[in-house]
Amino acid sequence: MSLNALNTSTAGLQVTQAAIGLVSQNVANAGTAGYVKRTLTSVSTLGNSGVATGTISRTLDAVSLKQLRLETAGAAYTGLSAKVQGQLDALYGTPGSGSALDGVMNTFTQSLQALTTDPTSAASRATALSAARTVATTISGIARGVQDLRSGLESQLGSDVASASTLLTQIADLNGKIAGAPKSDAGTADLLDRRDQAINTLSQYLDVQVSDQPDGSVTLLTASGATLVDHGAAASLAFDGRGSLSPEAQYSADPAARGVGTVTATTPAGARIDLVATGAIRSGSIAAAVSLRDDTLVQAQRQLDDLASGLSRALSDRPATGTAASANGLTGFDIDLTGLQAGNAVTLGVRNAAGVGRNLILMPTNGAAPDPIDPKLTDDPTALVVPVDISGGDSTIAQQIGAVLGTGFTVSATPGGAAGSVRILSDPAALALTGASASVTVPTNASDTKTGSGQLALFVDGGTGGVFTGSFEGGSHLTGYAQRLAVNPAVAADSSTLVDYAGTTASGDTARPQTLTDALTNRTLTFSAASGIGGVSAPRFTTVTGFTQSVVDARGAASAEAQQLDEGQQIALSSAQSRFGKESGVSVDEEMSRLIQLQTAYSANARVLTAARDMLDTLLRI
């Protein structure tokens, strides 16, 4: 019996010593990121006559770990979004300040108003020119900043994708080690911790679904179901970055048309998957960077392009609005399109017999515009865009419009009208015309500063030096126009052109300054739905100054919303971390309490062992 007690006490000491060592390890790693609390399970030996060390297991709450990874990906997404939105907002300046976008536009408008009170003042003309330059440099500076942000995100995508690919390889390697390791070994728990930490870090880059396998390995899938890790095999991620991005560089599922990088996964079998085109990545910093680069900042560029276009054409174009006309039971409109230039879109409102309305945009071209023209590049993305060849001049406009409209319409020159005046009629019972409008650029070139009317090409395309008309010749001239916006050199060289619009203009004539002022503050223009101002399904009708304020307001609201979303997501992440730490982390107080229990047990086993030794000594002395 003494020998049995000796063996039992020895086994108890060994188990207790192992448990104390595990408590010591837990306490030492209480602050280690990714460390999961360990516990030791003891087992009875044969006949329940003793005890032996069982398995070392981790106190892991799988539900809280899954939630932690979900919130980690969400926080990385909202964090990057809030950061970039804040940087974008800063480009526009503090609303209302003299250097902000709305501030410089107001200063420019006020300088034109001042010119109407004293057109002969050289100082007033110089002030107006200076204010115009400030507007141009401010808009172009913001637009360049937008592309700098896109280029920065392109670079970050390359770095994040490389890091994520490395983590996938590490996870697959750990899978192989864990699958072949004893489940009760302390080293296996360390491997599991390392793998969990790698997956948690991976969640910062992209959202993943984790599936446990019977052999102890895990399978990683994207939110859309694409396999990233399967046992010991991992997909490799790659990003074909394009470096510095221009406004024309945008995402397309067509590799030949794509101007930015995309994320591809190559499976161990060699299959390639475009994770951006398939929408496989929906959260994490990679998804945020793609969304910001391809959506948020592209829309910001479009807003600036539309503002630059509206600013230029408000001052250089004459509005052409159709007047009701009818003949032989047909109804429609007469519209004066004299001087129509490539890009001066003619918008016809049409309504079918069912009462469904839609815009039909006739896009003038000299023959070098793409066909078809993407309606997203026009004011109305829901419109039907039809190119019209105007290379033959005003006298052929009616004929060319009639040719592209087809048999449902009757098109002719307006009786008694100008050479470019057109009458467009249709049968109202089948296809009714509900409106006709156009914006016709008056100056034919930048040096044409005295057109005999109040219009003036004060702003031109700095890239070509030409007057901006919205042309599609050789591609959309709208895309990137904000970067190219510049004051007309001919006006800068002779400030009197701000007042003089004909050879006989009186020196104190206020007609042109008043026309320019009204064009900015009173004339309602159509701004594209693609700008997202007031919605993305219909054009925006407002003045240039009104659109400027709308852009500033929308930018501030978007930045504030992104910040609020991030704050809420960070709270959710903090809660998930707290929950996981409570369930699976180390509590020093609990470990200390456990240590006291183990010390008591160790002492008791030691006393039994001492008693057994004393009994043996007594027996030996008999």
This model's pTM is above 0.75: yes
Average pLDDT, the chain: 88
Which candidate, 557, 561, 556, 555, places its Cα nearest to that of 301? Answer: 555
Tell me the percentage of the chain whose pLDDT exceeds 70.
Answer: 83
* The predicted structure's pLDDT at residue 455: 93
Residues 483-494, mean pLDDT to the nearest whole number: 96
> 383-409 pLDDT, tens per residue?
999 999 999 999 999 999 999 999 889
Dihedral (CA of 76, 82, 83, 88) sign: positive
Residues 587-604, mean pLDDT to the nearest whole number: 64
> 547-594 pLDDT, tens per residue?
999 999 999 999 999 999 999 999 999 998 888 777 766 666 665 666
Note the Cα 267 to chain centre separation in Å.
28
Name 262's Cβ contacts closer than 8 Å, sequence gap at least 6. 239, 240, 251, 274, 275, 276, 277
Which candidate, 42, 40, 35, places its Cα nearest to that of 60? Answer: 35
Give 73-90 as a DSSP string: HHHHHHHHHHHHHHHHHH
Mean pLDDT highest for which of 174-188, 215-229, 433-447, 536-550? Answer: 433-447
Chain length of the chain: 622
Residue 46 has pLDDT above 50, yes or no: no
* The predicted structure's pLDDT at residue 11: 64
Enumerate helices (H) and strands (E) in the chain, giving the number of each. Answer: 13, 22
* The predicted structure's pLDDT at residue 10: 66
As a whole number of Å, the end-to-end CA separation of the chain is 18
What is the distance between the alpha carbons of residues 234 and 220, in angstroms, rounded to a whole number? Answer: 9
* The predicted structure's pLDDT at residue 107: 97
* Helix (H) / strand (E) containing 600: helix 588-621
What is the distance between the alpha carbons of residues 76 and 200, in angstroms, rounded to a whole number? Answer: 12
Residue 39 has pLDDT above 90, yes or no: no
> Among 127-141, 351-365, 505-519, which stretch is predicted with the lowest mean pLDDT?
505-519
Which candidate, 469, 430, 434, places its Cα nearest to that of 448? Answer: 469
Enter the DSSP assignment of 529. G
Which candidate, 303, 279, 302, places its Cα nearest to that of 290? Answer: 279
Note the Cα 287 to chain centre separation in Å.
9
Residue 262 has pLDDT above 60, yes or no: yes
Radius of gyration of the chain (CA): 37
* The predicted structure's pLDDT at residue 265: 94
Cβ–Cβ < 8 Å for 45, 11:
yes
